[in-house]
Amino acid sequence: MKYIKYISIQFILFSLLIFMAYISEPYLQRPFDKVDVIAIVVMAPFVFIVLHFGDKLKALVPSIHVLVRILLTVVAILLAIILIGLVTGELQFSES
């Protein structure tokens, strides 16, 4: 149960971070100008809130061995990438 709770927390955390990066990506381009600074200033508090929220949730999970945590985190990151890719339309499966 603790593994499911841990991977769920990691999945939610990384999904939110990837989605926020996807949303802010059109505003962060070369050359670096005022729009980029404003986008960073607006997104930074949200990133800190998500990371703080993730730390609070991770405190609820009993201790897990480091190697298991690393493997579960990699699985959660891959699942988050696939989900956000499918939701945003950036990841598509060919029909052929």
Residue spans of alpha helices (H) in 1-96: 2-24, 34-58, 66-88
Say if residues 87 and 57 touch (Cβ distance below 8 Å): no
Per-residue confidence (pLDDT) for residue 75, from 0 to 100: 95
Structure tokens belonging to residue 8: 């769920």
What pTM does this model have? 0.77
Asked whether residue 95 is assigned to any structural domain, the reply reads no
| Single-letter residue type at 10 | Q
- Residue 70 located in a structural domain: yes
pLDDT at 56: 86
> Is 94 part of a structural domain of the chain?
no
Task: Provide the number of structural domains found in the chain.
Answer: 1
Average pLDDT over residues 38-55: 86
Q: Which residue has the tokens 């052929």?
A: 96
Contact criterion met (CB below 8 Å) for 74 and 13: no
Q: Among 30-39, 47-56, 76-85, which stretch is predicted with the lowest mean pLDDT?
A: 30-39
Is residue 96 one of the residues assigned to a domain?
no
C-alpha distances in Å from residue 95, one per residue of 32, 84, 92: 40, 20, 9
pLDDT above 70 (res 96): no
Q: Residue 7 is part of which domain span?
A: 2-88
Residue 93: inside a domain: no
| Per-residue pLDDT tens over the stretch 29-46 | 777 788 778 888 888 898
